[in-house]
Amino acid sequence: MPELSRRRALTGAAALAATVGAAGAANAAPGDHHANSPGSPTSPASAASTTSATSSGFPAAFDEVYKGRRIQGRPATGGGHHGGGHHGGGYAVFVDGVELHVMRNADGSWISVVSHYDPVPTPRAAARAAVDELQGARLLPFPTD
C-alpha cells in the first residue's frame, strides 16, 4: 500500500470538499443562494439600491458623489479593455476618474477588484463598496498587461 503523501491528502480533502459543496448546493432550494445576505438581489436592503436597466440590458448609468468620492458608471463602448465585453460585461465603473475593474457573476451580482469576495447587486453598489473599503485611500490603476 502506498504511503500517504501530503499531496494525496490535500487532493483527497479537496475532492471531499467539492463533493460536500455540490451536495449542499443540490439540496438548496432554487434562488436560496445568499437569499438572506445583505446586498443580495433578493434582500430588502438591496431593493432600494437597484437601478433600472437600459434598453441594452445594462444597468443605467450613474454619476454621484458618495462619501466625498465621485463614482461613475456607464455601459462601455469602443474597443478598449472593457469595450469587448471583458469581465465587466461591457460596463465601466470609475472612482475619482480611475477605472474600478468590475465583473458580473453568473447569478447577476457584481464584484470589483477591491471587494472581490463581497458580491453586490449593481455596479453602483460595487463602486460604493469599493469607496467603503478604500477608507479614503486612492484607487490605483489596475495593470491590464
Q: State pLDDT tens for residues 41-58.
A: 333 333 334 446 666 678
Q: State the cell numbers at 135.
A: 477608507
Q: Give the pLDDT confidence score for residue 57 in this predicted structure.
A: 74
Strands 91-95 and 98-100: antiparallel
Q: Give the pLDDT confidence score for residue 40 in this predicted structure.
A: 38
Q: Is the CB of residue 114 less than 8 Å from the CB of residue 105?
A: no
Domain positions in the chain: 44-134
**pLDDT, average across residues 88-117:** 91
Share of residues in the chain with pLDDT > 90 (%):
44
Strands 69-75 and 62-66: antiparallel
Q: State the cell numbers at 120.
A: 453586490
Q: State the cell numbers at 143.
A: 495593470
Give how far Cα 70 sits from Cα of 36, 41, 64, 73, 99, Å.
30, 24, 6, 10, 12
- The pLDDT tens digits of the residues spanning 103-142 come to 999 999 999 999 889 999 999 999 999 999 999 999 998 7
User: What CATH code would you report for 44-134?
Assistant: 3.30.1880.10
